[in-house]
Amino acid sequence: MKNKITHVKKRSGAIVPFKQERIANAIYRAVVAVGGRDKEKAGELAEQVVQILNEKFDEKKYPYIEDVQDVVEKVLIENGHAKVAKEYILYREEAAKRRDEEGRINSKLNENIPWAKVWRNLDWAVEHKLNTVDLLNKRVANGEFAQIVHESERLYEDDVELAARLIIEKLKDLRMVMISGPSSSGKTSTTVKLEQKLIKKGYKFKALNVDHYFFDLEIHPKDEFGDYDFETPQALDLQLINEHLSKLSNGEEVLIPSYEFKTGTRTLNVTPMKLEKDEILLIDSLHGLYPDFSKDIPIDVKFKLYLEPLLQMKDPDEKYIRWTDIRLIRRMLRDYAHRAYNPTQTLEHWHYVRSSEMRNIIPYSNTADYIISSAMPYELSLYAQKLTNSFAEWEKKYMDDPLKTDAYERASRLYNLLKCLTPVADDSPVPHDSVLREFIGGSSIVH
């Protein structure tokens, strides 16, 4: 049967090309979320969706996105996939809620972060005259950039030190420490720093690389652009992670799998690991707080840390600078330097990174035992030097592209911010073990 549906209407009214594989990908994501891995069945269901759309619409009448989603729900339910339909509906509702929240003024207190933590950072920013872009610019103009670096690094180091003390207080029963947080929040550097501090106090650790628990690439879910989605917790073998964590916490030996990113394949039972009585397991993972990640592990044997750059600074429009924008820039710089990933690609795909973390990471931040802020107010001055012109170009590039509205909005917002900052080219005052070096390069602790 010839497909008559060539375009669909977005909520904004923009008309964009219709692609059947996006429907199949969306169905498969819902399938994976409930524990399934039948990609072929997802494709068959997508075929049914297209058939119904062809019966309801023609070449002259384009369906809206909502029309397509309604048909997907109908097909899933009529084919006996109630759990998958529920997951798809939930994802759809959360996406609508997220769009509404993104559109509001970003001034309300983040409900997932304890207000006392946010207030402490705001109080610190006011005390150090770093709570507005204008005040930051004035201090930079006065030749205080190196001092701002020192003050910012001290605040972060105090946070890590307190986290170390809290962990030590629980060491009697503790078997593992999980360092979690959204993309580019500084987990890798913080894990290293935390380990260094605890080793100095006489404690022993072993690190678990969760990347080895990825499923084979061919059964990974994909994003709406057809790219493999490594951001979702369902990309990981959560059942095997739980099994291994349980055995390790009981002093049993396990065989860690090995994942080869070049081939996208995993080999089971490769590397033996066992925790001695005086050793603690360190786990650096996006999804350390996700309930299914460690659902079989008793609360008293795990300590959960959460990272986020909790910057408390207002832009010239009196709006607080968004934490997600800081992390977007960090990831742009890191991926370009270390992963040969073009910053344009990072910007274009950030919306699905954001979508995954809003659903699978950030809602669980309030279950953490302690929250560390990795924000460095001075980093904005460095970004102004590095990326202002690029964001100006991206704003123009995406202005009239209905498929890239998210990239346009982020580019426009960041260009308007960065052009108001006094740029700083010399990053030599930034310590080589700074969490920021993980992103701007030159780190002595992260490679």
Q: What angle do CA 214, 219, 223 make, to 5 degrees?
A: 90
CA dist 425 and 418 (Å) reads: 14
In terms of pTM, does the model score above 0.85?
A: no
Cβ–Cβ contacts within 10 Å for residue 336, how many? Answer: 17
Task: Identify whether the C-beta of residue 74 lies closer than 8 Å to the C-beta of residue 52.
Answer: yes
Q: How many residues does the chain have?
A: 447
Token pair listed for 340: 């040969």
Q: Supply φ then ψ for residue 137, to 5 degrees.
A: -60, -40
Residues 85, 129 within the same domain = no
- Distances in whole angstroms, Cα of residue 151 to Cα of each of 124, 144, 219, 444: 10, 11, 47, 20
> Domain for residue 238, yes or no?
yes
Contact criterion met (CB below 8 Å) for 96 and 87: no
Q: Which of 52, 82, 103 is the C-terminal boundary of a domain?
A: 103
Packing angle of the helix pair 145-169, 187-200 (nearest 10 deg): 60
| Count of structural domains, the chain | 2
**362 SS3 class:** helix
- Whole-number Å distance between alpha carbons of 332 and 330: 5
Whether residues 99 and 157 fall in one domain = no
**HSE-up (13 A, CA, CB side) for residue 383:** 27
Question: What pLDDT was estimated at residue 424?
Answer: 98
Q: Please tell me whether residues 48 and 130 are part of one structural domain.
A: no
Q: Does 166 share its domain with 222?
A: yes
pLDDT at res. 143:
98
Q: Using N-to-C axis directions, what is the helix angle for 39-56 and 65-78, rounded to 10°?
A: 120
Q: Within its chain, how far is the Cα of 139 from the centroid?
A: 32
Q: What is the pLDDT along the chain (447 residues), one digit of tens a residue?
A: 567 888 888 776 778 788 888 888 778 777 777 777 788 888 888 888 888 888 888 777 888 888 888 888 888 888 888 887 777 777 777 666 655 554 443 434 456 777 889 999 999 999 999 999 999 999 999 999 999 999 999 999 999 999 999 999 998 889 999 999 999 999 999 999 999 999 998 899 999 999 999 999 888 777 666 677 778 898 899 999 999 999 999 999 999 999 998 899 999 999 999 999 889 999 999 999 999 999 999 999 999 999 999 999 999 999 999 999 999 999 999 988 876 789 999 999 898 889 889 889 999 999 999 999 999 999 999 999 999 999 999 999 999 898 899 999 999 999 999 999 999 999 999 999 999 999 999 999 987
With H, G, I as helix, E, B as strand and everything else as coil, classify residue 379.
helix
Judge if 152 and 97 occupy the same domain.
no
φ, ψ at 169 (rounded to 5°) = -65, -25
Partnered with residue 326 across adjacent β-strands are: none
Question: Does 172 lie in the same domain as 45?
Answer: no
Q: How far apart are CA 214 and CA 283, in angstroms?
A: 15
317 C-beta neighbours (distance < 10 Å), count:
11
Q: In angstroms, what CA-CA distances link 80 with 73, 77, 99? A: 11, 5, 30
159 in a structural domain: yes
Is 109 inside any structural domain?
no
pLDDT at position 108: 42
In this structure, are residues 294 and 168 in contact, taking their beta carbons and an 8 Å threshold?
no
Element (H, E) at 267: strand 265-273
Is residue 39 a part of any domain in this protein? yes
255 with 289, same domain: the answer is yes
Residue 6 CB-density burial (10 A; 0-12 exposed, 13-18 middle, 19+ buried):
exposed
Query: Residue 23 sits in which domain range?
Result: 7-103
* Amino acid sitting at position 172: K
Residue 285: CB atoms within 10 Å: 23
Does residue 171 form part of some domain? yes
Does any domain span residue 108? no
305 shares a domain with 406: yes
Q: 35 exposed, middle or buried (CB, 10 Å; 0-12, 13-18, 19+)?
A: exposed
Exposed/middle/buried for residue 87 (C-beta within 10 Å: 0-12, 13-18, 19+): buried
Q: pLDDT (tens digit, 9 = 90+) per residue, 162-198?
A: 999 999 999 888 999 999 999 999 999 999 999 999 9
Q: What Å distances lie between residue 75 and 2, 45, 368, 418, CA to CA?
A: 19, 7, 39, 47
Residues 80 and 218 in one domain: no
Encoding tokens for residue 151? 């003050």
Structural domain includes residue 110: no
Q: Which of 53, 72, 103 is the last residue of a domain?
A: 103
Tens digits of residue pLDDT in 367-383: 999 999 999 999 999 99
Same domain (yes/no): 26, 121 = no
Would residue 138 count as lying in a domain? yes
Helix spans in 170-271 (H): 187-200, 238-249
Query: Domain check: are 184 and 254 in the same one?
Result: yes
Reported as type and span, the H/E element at residue 177 is strand 176-180
Q: Which of 103, 130, 160 is the last residue of a domain?
A: 103
Q: Is residue 257 classed as helix, strand or coil in its secondary structure?
A: strand
φ, ψ for residue 385 (rounded to 5)?
A: -70, -40
What are the residues facing 306 on neighbouring strands?
A: 180, 371
Which CATH number belongs to the domain containing residue 300 in this structure? 3.40.50.300
Q: Are residues 241 and 304 in the same domain?
A: yes
Contact between residue 410 and residue 131 where contact means Cβ atoms under 8 Å apart: no
